[in-house]
Chains A and B, each alone.
Chain A
Amino acid sequence: MAGVFIDVKVSAEIAGDADIARKLEEVCPVGIFAAKEAGVEIVDDNLDECTLCDLCLEAAPKGSVEIVKLYEA
């Protein structure tokens, strides 16, 4: 189920990068990212648990991960 409050977008450039996927999975405290063989996968059920800590933004190349606050849209 997609998030009601939060959406996370990963750019096509890093979506298939296994190393970045592992990093994202490791840093996210609420399990929004899952590292798969094909790259990073978003765990929809956990999106609304996002604490806006920005650790994912720091773990990935600048601009490749975007946190969207749906309630600000």
Chain B
Amino acid sequence: MRFYEYEAKALFRKHRLPLGGGEVVNSAEAARAAFEKIGGPVVLKSQVLSGGRMKAGAVKFADTADEAAAHFDAILPIVVKGEKARSILMEEKSPVDQEYFVAITWDGRAKQPVLVFSDMGGIDIEEVAEKHPDHVSKTHFSSILPLTPRIAKEAIGATGVQGSALNRLTPIVFELMNIFLEYDLTLAEINPLARLESGQFIVLDGHIDMEAEARGEHKALLEELGIGEDETRQARPPTEFELAGARVNAVDHRGVAGNVVEFDGNLGLVIGAGGGSLTLFDAVRKHGGKPANYCEIGGNPSVGKAKELTKLILSKPGVEKIAVMMNVVSNTRVDIVARGVVKGCLEAGKDPAETIAIFRIPGAWEEEGFKILEKYGVEYCDRSVSMYDAAGRAVAKMA
């Protein structure tokens, strides 16, 4: 769940990270008043969840109150990557001497948080890593053992930063690491973190993503920031297809057949089980397949729910076949899912044998499920075929 910049900064302020003066404004008059309050040149930034504000012209500088008011009117209607501004953040314009990059995210392979630091901030970090690898450090740290500022200091020092800058950056980076862990974040980023001409360090822009499952744990913080329970805060607004997927899931309390994400491929996916959906999605792509969607099924969804999900995926333009694949399941019944997907095909007016490229769900009640699949001529496999190979079989049928 992504935070708006002004919310990320409110969290940073709570943790005493250095920030310049500024406020959120919702009218040209308020922009004029904010300019007078800040008392000098300002920057106006559209508050959207996606990136690309600068390119879209949704970030502007103003030297007078009139200019600030005019910029407010100009920026507010700008749509950035399909998203309208929630409000405008006005901050004092800071004379920057050098920009740094710092981010903490989760490294799934290492199963640890990773701190990424660069003394070349303000620009695309991937580009810096490629062209100037000696200016980027990556430091893994434990999410269980106590944190120490030394970890931050070594990460910063690895990019060649030393002396006063090293000493002043260390507590900022260290606090960001604490914030990352305390609030179950998946991303805590400051870019740029600037050294001003005065020598002061200041956070110019920040990004925060919180693990969606942790919302309940941090209800107090979210209330403090004014983030409503109904705000999904995805990186982009959900598509009609995704909203329809959520409705399918909400109709029935039994199991999960949701979290549908739309892609533009031709192979529909009915996938899930203990990380299986991610593994299977990657496997399909590895084999050169083009997924039409991502989804998660599990927890023994009803026949009706599996059926409606199947019909939804088959209704998506460009979908030719579906692959029904899961890890070995113990809390989802194979026969129930088999009934759901076969019935979904039939109600969509399609032949299950032609439409289901592969059915690979081994586990509870599989013998019963396989009887159903045999009756309808659907190709299926048991646990002797890996998820990777099953994905390969499905992709091969798309040729």
Contact = CB atoms under 8 A, between A and B. Distances in A.
Interface stretch (B61-69, B122-130, B284-292, B367-375): B367-375
Given A4-B339, A4-B343, A4-B346, A49 B371 contact: no
B298 interface: no
Contacts of A52: 368
Interface in B291-343: 302-304, 333, 336, 339, 342-343
Contact of B343 (A48, A51, A69, A72): A48
Given A48-B303, A49-B303, A52-B368, A71 B343 contact: no
Given A4-B346, A48-B339, A51-B336, A71 B371 contact: yes
Contacts of B339: 4-5, 48
A5 B346 CA distance: 12
A51 B302 CA distance: 10
Nearest to A46: B304
Interface size class on chain A is 10 to 19
Interface residues of B, number: 13
Given A4-B339, A49-B304, A51-B336, A71 B375 contact: yes
Nearest to B368: A52
Contact of B372 (A5, A30, A51): A5
Contacts of A71: 371-372, 375
B371 A72 contact: yes
A16 to B, nearest CB: 29
Which of A51, A69, A71 has the most B CB atoms < 10 Å from its CB?
A: A71
Contacts of A30: 302
A71 B373 CA distance: 9
Contacts of B333: 51
A11 to B, nearest CB: 25
A49 B252 CA distance: 12
A49 B303 CA distance: 6
B146 to A, nearest CB: 49
B15 to A, nearest CB: 50
Contacts of A49: 302-304
Interface in A31-56: 48-49, 51-52
A73 B303 CA distance: 20
Nearest to B346: A4
Nearest to B371: A71
Nearest to B372: A71
A4 B303 CA distance: 11
A71 B304 CA distance: 18
B378 to A, nearest CB: 11
A49 B336 CA distance: 8
Contacts of A5: 303, 339, 342-343, 372
A8 to B, nearest CB: 15
Contacts of B342: 4-5
A73 to B, nearest CB: 9
Given A4-B343, A48-B339, 18 more contacts: A4-B339, A4-B342, A4-B346, A5-B303, A5-B339, A5-B342, A5-B343, A5-B372, A48-B303, A48-B304, A49-B303, A51-B336, A52-B368, A71-B371, A71-B372, A71-B375, A72-B371, A72-B375
18 contacts: A4-B342, A4-B343, A4-B346, A5-B303, A5-B342, A5-B343, A30-B302, A48-B304, A48-B343, A49-B302, A49-B303, A51-B333, A52-B368, A69-B371, A71-B372, A71-B375, A72-B371, A72-B375
Interface of B: 302-304, 333, 336, 339, 342-343, 346, 368, 371-372, 375
Top 7 nearest A-B pairs (CB, nearest first) are A71-B375, A71-B372, A48-B303, A5-B339, A49-B303, A4-B343, A48-B339
